Structure 1
Amino acid sequence: MRPTISALRRWRLNDLALASSVASANARAISDAASKIDRALLSARGWSGHAQSAARQTIAANADHASEVCAVLHALASTAANANRELVPAREQVLSEVRRIVAAGFDVSDAGDVSAPDDGETDRAILADRTADATVWQNRISLALTAVADLDAAYGRAFTAHAKDLTDMVNGQRPVTLPDGTRADPDAVVATLVAMTLTQRRAFLSTLTPDVIRQLVTADPHVIGNLDGVPFEIRIKANTVNIRNALADEITAGRADGDRAKKLSEMLTPVRPTGPLVGDPAAAERKFVAFSNTKVGHAIELIGELDSSTRNVVAYVPGTNSNLNGSRSNYESARNLSARTGAPVLMYLDDRLPQKMGHEGVLSGAKMAMVPGGAADGVMHAVLGLKDSAADTAPAKEIAPGLVQFGHELDAELSRIAPTAKTTFIGHSYGGAVVGTAEQLGLRADRVIYASSAGTGALTTGWHNANPNVERYSLTAPGDWIHTAQATGRFGSDPDTTPGVIRLDTGFYSIAGDHHGQLVTGQNGGHGAYWDDPDSTGFQNMVAVITGDTPVEYVPRMPDTPAAQTSAFAAARSAAIAGSIGGILGIETLRH
């Protein structure tokens, strides 16, 4: 049923934003109380026996119940925030149309009917024209009112479902009804899902009602939000709850003003699309296909819309130093890629990506080696300093299998939604070594871009991409320090010279950008600054690959190898020689 104009004017939509805040605050209060009870039990010393065991079981059961209530409250908070975000502009669209129509001299009824006033003296031809105009205006009002009514009904159903969930949870979450009519505890169903094969999981989930799926998300949002075989739209809903839970944990721990809390809050804030879009598009909720609130942070964010109109999809793996708190530049690059290609971009941020370059340990080890009797300790310190750094192949080998599996998940999602869409995997810097290693392990992609990549893969085997017709491209600017890493062969061959890989031109920055049309080159800017300039030659070449257009091949303008490395890398090489570390970049770290 469509609302009347007067009813729309009375709607107190700001209360939705307040409701969102109250729901989140209540979830934090419940979570905080459950944590305090648990800590109190753990701090009790000298208490053991049947009573202690029974208390622990009761507290654990109540903690599980509390987490489920918090999940519903966080879901309610998201629904209220989204309702406010969508209903406010939808209502304004109706009311602004009414104001325009009245200003043009037409009458508008409370139901939205538009008519041209007839004072009996208006020329018949003019009146006929105004009556025709009134019909056009009325159609516009009708469409706007229908849009508001549809949103209102959809959010009304969502709020009703949340209210039912909370009512049913007074004594614990209600059982779910499975397709065969049996009733089961939601936690038990989640455990069954985990034990299934991917094929079984997808088939089983396809038989469940939205009500049952909502209960499973409530029961264990972390598992559902990160479980392969679960459709992306379900994982996204679960991870919205997970992000709100993580933010609540940060606030409870007294870190409300910390970097992670600020990042989590940002992740929950809707954003407006970028690019040459018509009009003023509404802000959209950010979507996360995976999320874990680890120290570095693990997330797979879907930027753009993945639907039946999708023709191309991008999976983007960033490089060293990429982490959840410091992912802003990677995120903006992904947004620009999506805007320029019209393709959804999945930014794959793995929490095992190196967070240091590797020369730090070599330099400090060299200092130790200069101390009398400290040579052995210096060498050991230098070797350990390479662990989990950009010089360590282990993270690439550990991340790659998950990327291969994610590629399978993406293919399964596309087969359901957009079966003709083409996938492009882009690995930048260390992320290029991850993508190359994934190709060695059987990644399936239509196109692959090695962007300023450390190499073509950290394993000793060749590529085993499941697509025999995969197109491969590389982008490496002259003067980029990554050429030195490529030359070591530690992460496989140099992608710029590997057979089957087409080297693309990195060319020039845009005239209007910060670099004013200069040649893309240099040890630092040449490595990543072209990612920040959507109109640069290199960025436009990535766009061309993604969309299936013809990119521009490399044009040599200066030598690839930098005339001099940064002082840190020069010192690192000297230290390696002086300390007799010899071959340190050619051996595996102590992890293996």
Structure 2
Amino acid sequence: MTRPRVSQVEQWRPDDLRAAADQLCAAAADVHERVDGTVRGVVETEDFWTGSAAEAARREAVLLGRESDASARALVMAAVAASDGAKQIAAARDEVLTRVADARSEGFAVGDDGSVAVGTDPSPLLVALSGGDGGVARDMLALRADALSAQIVDALDRLGAADADAGHDIAEALATPVAPAPPSTTPAGAWPVQAGDVVAGWSGLSQDRIAEQIAAMTPEQRRRLVTEFPRQVGNTDGVPWPMRIEANRTNIAQAILDEEDPARLAVYRALLSEVDDPAGGGRRVDRQILAFDPARASLVELHGDVSTAGSVAVLVPGLNTTITGSPAVNQTARRFVSATRGEVAAISYLGGPFPRGDDPASALLSAADPRYALEMAPRLVAFSEDVDRTVDSTAAPVTYIGHSYGGSILGTAEALGLTGDRTLYVAAAGSGVGVDDPADWHNRNPHVLRFSMTAPGDFIQAVQGIPGGPHGADPDEMPGVIPLATGHYDDGRLMAGPRSHSDVLNSPSDSWRNILAVITGDRAAIQLAG
């Protein structure tokens, strides 16, 4: 990293980088649209154009399309990096200019390297405050100059770091590899054939077997899997998480090229952007997407570092959760990471479509449909196996949190064999579809601890445990489930009423700290319901 000069900073124009990002995005869309149309025009000639020349032309067109798609995705990722970099550079530049202006307004001289020198004699007021001693006053000015110099140099270093990070991210995006085209003839046992066969066979293999296959591959073979089969690699349990994260960057970039809805585009671009490390330390880090499939409404994101965390939480949200609305769910998960400075790693789990309703009547009707829980629960069970394998080396306990309709999803998953150390039903719609008794749960961990909480006056109480209800028994009344107190907001108000349905999980409160205590296993901090 090179520390910029003050004169350079004054001339920098971060908006130019933003404009370049917009141009890159436009270029990516143009390349994708034009080449895709051309390729389709050649490929769709099979009915009337035959022969070896026609086959060669179609083969070359497909190769061109592959290269074009990869180039367009690289441009998208570079555009996101440039836009994110422009934002960080602009903020760091503003800090430098503000500190320089403040120093000059106090009468100090600021050097081009950021050093600050005393520019004038002490004012009469400062001399008077120094007991009339001019030497003491000058010493005070020198100390102030040293402090301002340290602040400006530190701001210059942060700006230099932001600039270097942006340049690295843009260059990395533009260097995205293009998947090689399979040869027209391939020797028996050659890797391109094996790669396709391996991926095609994953649906019939256990996660352990998939993990073993990948562990036996060379680094180059693993890279080719990510490059050639990003959709499968990014969304298959059993594939190591670093590979899934890398593949899903490609999948997200492709979704940006294919998407037209502005709200979805904004969310997708944010998924490719860096974020402040939720564990603290002031670093910017890439987002860690473990699954991304808009066609299945699937988005699973890891927050924090499972290799160093002492505890892991998996959050399953509820009614009206969508990929477009996922930022709110992600913020909920990140709070657990931030509050513990990375001692907790959290996963926000959107494993498929959730029930939706735009008004109370349609929301109630949609939430009464058990279909969403029945469809998502098996996927959550499979993911829990993947989580268990991934964190096994650290022995970090894993807590699954089901909020609202997510409680029914979690309970249904427990009935189907979810693996978890602790489960927590927060304002849950029920204990799971068909779960009326603790014996209906079949968590593969025989020592699982179960907890529940619902604030008084939460509207969910109207449907919890109703006879013949679609979501099973009320988890707050289920034998063996430990009931937790919801307590008060931090401003002293009782955690109660309709707003508590979401606040119990999100607002600074006794209930939030109770949830955190369950995640971390801090038994002394867990408050039971009275």
Normalising by structure 1, we get a TM-score of: 0.67
**Matched-pair contact (CA < 8 Å) for 1:454–1:486:** no
Q: Please name the residue that 1:425 is paired with.
A: 400
Aligned length: 495
**Matched-pair contact (CA < 8 Å) for 1:443–1:464:** yes
The alignment status of 1:437 with 2:412, answered yes or no, reads yes
Amino acid at match of 2:501: G
Summarize the Cα distance change of 1:533–1:352 in structure 2 as closer, same or farther, 3 Å threshold: closer
Q: Which runs of 5+ in 2 are unaligned?
A: 124-132, 183-189, 203-208
Find the aligned partners of 1:154 and 1:480 in 2 and give their Cα distance: 47
The alignment status of 1:407 with 2:418, answered yes or no, reads no
**Matched-pair contact (CA < 8 Å) for 1:30–1:66:** yes
Listed one character per residue, the Cα deviations across residues 59-116 of structure 1 (whole Å, up to 9, x for unaligned) are: 3322222221122112212221222222222333333333333344444332333444
Amino acid at match of 1:94: V
Q: Which runs of 5+ in 1 are unaligned?
A: 176-182, 364-385, 556-592
**Matched-pair contact (CA < 8 Å) for 1:457–1:491:** yes
Q: Please name the residue that 2:259 is paired with.
A: 250
**Matched-pair contact (CA < 8 Å) for 1:19–1:77:** yes
The alignment status of 1:146 with 2:146, answered yes or no, reads no
The alignment status of 1:473 with 2:473, answered yes or no, reads no
Deviation at 1:200, TM superposition (A): 3.4
1:142-541 paired onto structure 2 within 5 Å:
142-164=153-175, 197-200=209-212, 203=215, 208=219, 219-229=228-238, 232=241, 235-251=244-260, 256=261, 260-261=264-265, 263-264=267-268, 287-294=288-295, 297-302=297-302, 304-306=303-305, 310-327=309-326, 330-331=329-330, 333-334=332-333, 343-355=344-356, 395-411=372-388, 413-414=390-391, 419=394, 421-458=396-433, 462-476=440-454, 477=456, 480=460, 483=463, 485=465, 487-488=467-468, 491-506=471-486, 517=494, 519-520=496-497, 525=498, 528-531=501-504, 534-535=507-508, 538-541=511-514
Find the aligned partners of 2:305 and 2:271 in 1 and give their Cα distance: 19
Q: Secondary structure at the match of 2:259?
A: helix
Summarize the Cα distance change of 1:188–1:92 in structure 2 as closer, same or farther, 3 Å threshold: farther
Deviation at 1:454, TM superposition (A): 4.0
Find the aligned partners of 1:190 and 1:90 in 2 and give their Cα distance: 47
Deviation at 1:135, TM superposition (A): 4.0
Q: Secondary structure at the match of 1:36?
A: helix
Summarize the Cα distance change of 1:518–1:420 in structure 2 as closer, same or farther, 3 Å threshold: closer
Amino acid at match of 2:448: V
Listed one character per residue, the Cα deviations across residues 481-532 of structure 1 (whole Å, up to 9, x for unaligned) are: 56455533765543223232112234667869xxx75743xxxx38834457
Find the aligned partners of 1:174 and 1:77 in 2 and give their Cα distance: 26
Deviation at 1:425, TM superposition (A): 1.0
Find the aligned partners of 1:63 and 1:440 in 2 and give their Cα distance: 46
**Matched-pair contact (CA < 8 Å) for 1:201–1:230:** no
Deviation at 1:427, TM superposition (A): 1.0
Q: Secondary structure at the match of 2:348?
A: strand
Q: Secondary structure at the match of 1:553?
A: coil
Listed one character per residue, the Cα deviations across residues 38-68 of structure 1 (whole Å, up to 9, x for unaligned) are: 5545766952533665554333322222221
Listed one character per residue, the Cα deviations across residues 95-146 of structure 1 (whole Å, up to 9, x for unaligned) are: 3333333344444332333444597999555444544444444444443333
**Matched-pair contact (CA < 8 Å) for 1:482–1:527:** no
**Matched-pair contact (CA < 8 Å) for 1:68–1:219:** no
Normalising by structure 2, we get a TM-score of: 0.74
Deviation at 1:449, TM superposition (A): 0.8
**Matched-pair contact (CA < 8 Å) for 1:353–1:395:** yes
Q: Please name the residue that 1:63 is paired with.
A: 65
Summarize the Cα distance change of 1:153–1:334 in structure 2 as closer, same or farther, 3 Å threshold: closer
Q: Secondary structure at the match of 2:380?
A: helix
CA-atom RMSD in angstroms = 4.7
Find the aligned partners of 1:128 and 1:329 in 2 and give their Cα distance: 52
Find the aligned partners of 1:242 and 1:264 in 2 and give their Cα distance: 10
Summarize the Cα distance change of 1:351–1:34 in structure 2 as closer, same or farther, 3 Å threshold: farther
Amino acid at match of 2:443: N
Compare 433-442 and 47-56 and name the one that shifted more. Answer: 47-56
Q: Secondary structure at the match of 1:487?
A: coil
Find the aligned partners of 1:14 and 1:53 in 2 and give their Cα distance: 48
Summarize the Cα distance change of 1:46–1:335 in structure 2 as closer, same or farther, 3 Å threshold: same
**Matched-pair contact (CA < 8 Å) for 2:108–2:116:** yes
Q: Of 84, 102, 119, which residue of structure 2 is paired with 1:82?
A: 84
Compare 316-325 and 338-347 and name the one that shifted more. Answer: 338-347
Find the aligned partners of 2:323 and 2:122 in 1 and give their Cα distance: 69
Summarize the Cα distance change of 1:538–1:311 in structure 2 as closer, same or farther, 3 Å threshold: same
Find the aligned partners of 2:467 and 2:148 in 1 and give their Cα distance: 68
**Matched-pair contact (CA < 8 Å) for 2:20–2:82:** yes
Q: Secondary structure at the match of 2:467?
A: helix
Summarize the Cα distance change of 1:13–1:462 in structure 2 as closer, same or farther, 3 Å threshold: same
Find the aligned partners of 1:231 and 1:495 in 2 and give their Cα distance: 34
Q: Secondary structure at the match of 2:323?
A: coil
Identity %: 30
Summarize the Cα distance change of 1:415–1:224 in structure 2 as closer, same or farther, 3 Å threshold: same
The alignment status of 1:28 with 2:37, answered yes or no, reads no
